[in-house]
Amino acid sequence: MSQKALGRLINSTPAADGVWIALKGAAAGVTFSCYLAGAVGDTYTLTQAKDNSGTGAKNLPVITEYYTNTGNGSDAWTRQTQAAAATVVTTATAAQNAMVVEVEGTSLDDGYKYVKLTSTGNGTVNALTRDLLAQRAPANLPATGA
């Protein structure tokens, strides 16, 4: 049996709003997939820390592009650009209910290994760590926040 994507290409933390996700030593990067229904908009803030307790936590102002759509599969992703920032602000339109942003592990400051994306509203955040540095069966993947 061939190994599926989980454990070979990705690991997933579906309830990742405000949760520290290990990057350095675990994966090349993380893709945050976010959703907030109702065309109300949201603000998502990217933070980095030295450990999963939040030591030295500070904003990580590296977001220059992200993608938005309705989130229901009826439309293509629309690329959004901005000056480097630690926040993404989605507008109060259905076309921005869903938002995806990618963070490379190399963008963290020296000594920092963890990132988190936090919604200021009620948006959901799913963290998909990708390009795993060690491939394992899903049952043997390390906890993403450990």
Residue 142 neighbours by CB distance under 10 Å: 14
Record the pTM: 0.94
Beta-sheet strands, E only, within 4-134:
10-13, 21-22, 27-35, 42-49, 58-59, 63-69, 78-85, 87-90, 98-104, 114-119, 124-132
Residue with tokens 């993404």: 88
At 32-45, the pLDDT tens digits run: 999 998 889 899 99
3-state SS, residue 88? strand
Maximum separation of any 2 CA atoms in the chain, in Å: 45
Residue 89, amino acid: V
Measuring CA to CA, how many Å separate 58 from each of 46, 49, 85, 130, 140? 9, 7, 12, 23, 31
**Can you give the C-alpha Rg of the chain in angstroms?**
15
Measuring CA to CA, how many Å separate 20 from each of 16, 41, 43, 106, 115? 8, 23, 18, 17, 5
pLDDT in tens, the chain (146 residues): 467 899 999 999 999 999 999 998 789 999 999 999 888 989 999 999 999 999 999 999 999 999 999 999 999 999 999 999 999 999 999 999 999 999 999 999 999 999 999 999 888 999 999 999 888 889 988 888 87
